[in-house]
Chain A
């Protein structure tokens, strides 16, 4: 990336502000996810309300950042690395916002399970583990964005395979549960929804990482076979 400053210092300020807003938004989504994990494993139903409230801030930031991107394109006509940055950011915020939505789904699922008098962590063994893995993916994707580190982004993309594999094994385990004891079906279905949301968070983190590779290297690596996703720089 380009560390030299623009002839227009205002342009530099605008790009800098845009980047820090994305990181701020990313930070909020991270707290949503980690609060959702806590709610799940410790039964902190109170934090559900907090997650939902944070979601509003996340949505507002998404709109503000998109709006800034549109203004910046109209005013500055960014090219090359600047263009890739603005374009990449406007995609990153979509994935961040959706990752936040998934956290909200987890929180609501947890609340339903507790209200039914159950302990979710008794059923979905392994969920906490992949949820933490997905959170690490998102954190690293945001680090990769902050440092424009394509190699780290590629690692995140590779980690998504593990989350997907674990998700499938959790599904198998829950299905076995339901067959063994049909009374667990209601709770198990809620847990499937939670596992599904976790898996989606991993996907969004992977997307963010792919956008980072595009910003840094100008390669669109979405939909490429795995072996072609290695960082080139």
Chain B
């Protein structure tokens, strides 16, 4: 109950349907994403969380046969991220993604973070160094790697690799960061570090995070959405969802009564 200000919309799914070929994986999703807040997506395996997340940065475009209906509005410019006139590469600059398993490129630590900037056409060495350092600091990994920026990234520990991937996503100054189960491959200490980082990052960026860990959702998020069989069952303030959910299906899921 600490903040009473009305949240500002950063994005909004409106009547979003998604199809893998014939199979409908998202059914009429309507949901707000609030600016500089953390929104957690929860729901049983296969309910469409990753599918939903991937719609935000047009990852589905990489495969033929995938089809969207409806829109995802992005603010303040009110762009439809799914619009056919919108360049997916441009979208991915504004919407960064961090995956379940850390996936650093087989390159140096420095090049991993500089990658997105280079794709964007940035070649100035000073600018690159500056932005890489800033991104690594924001991802709370600078102190651990500042003396080994030319080491190969895959030699880092799992937790470090994940923070490096966050730095890589941050380097292009995205407005929305998508996390798909970012800590499921990490130990509790590394998990704690990522959660702490999420808390820091929301001062600057809006975050949408998928997690199977209910306590994690309760700890890190301001809003929580429960998905089931491709539908958005309930969206609300995290406190409310975890203390008094409105829908019986949400209640059954978070109290461990699925069956």
Contacts and interface: CB of A to CB of B under 8 A. Distances in A.
A6 B244 contact: no
A83 B242 contact: yes
Given A80-B243, A84-B243, A6 B255 contact: yes
A2 B259 CA distance: 14
A8 B243 contact: no
A81 B251 contact: yes
A176 interface: no
B241 to A, nearest CB: 8
A218 B255 contact: no
B214 A5 contact: no
| Interface residue range, chain A | 10 to 19
A79 B217 CA distance: 12
A79 B243 CA distance: 6
A8 B257 CA distance: 8
B259 A7 contact: yes
Interface of chain A: mostly helix, strand, loop or mixed: loop
Contact of B254 (A7, A8, A79, A218): A79
B214 A77 contact: yes
B245 interface: yes
Interface string B230-245: 0000000000011111
B62 interface: no
B91 interface: no
Contacts of B129: none
Nearest to B215: A77
Interface string B24-63: 0000000000000000000000000000000000000000
A79 B218 contact: yes
Contacts of B248: 2
B92 to A, nearest CB: 35
Contacts of A5: 257, 259
A172 interface: no
B76 interface: no
Interface in A1-23: 2, 4-8, 11
Contacts of B259: 4-5, 7
Contacts of A218: 243-244
A201 to B, nearest CB: 30
Interface in A57-89: 77-84
Contacts of B241: 80
B189 interface: no
A84 B244 contact: yes
A112 to B, nearest CB: 47
B87 interface: no
Contacts of B65: none
Contacts of B256: 6-8, 11
Contacts of B250: 80
B258 interface: yes
Given A218-B243, A218-B244, A80 B251 contact: yes
Given A79-B242, A80-B242, A84-B244, A6 B218 contact: no
A80 B215 contact: no
Nearest to A219: B244
7 contacts: A7-B257, A7-B259, A11-B256, A78-B255, A80-B244, A80-B251, A83-B243
Given A2-B251, A2-B257, A11-B256, 17 more contacts: A2-B248, A2-B255, A4-B252, A6-B256, A7-B258, A77-B214, A79-B214, A79-B218, A79-B255, A80-B241, A80-B243, A80-B244, A80-B251, A80-B255, A217-B244, A218-B244, A219-B244
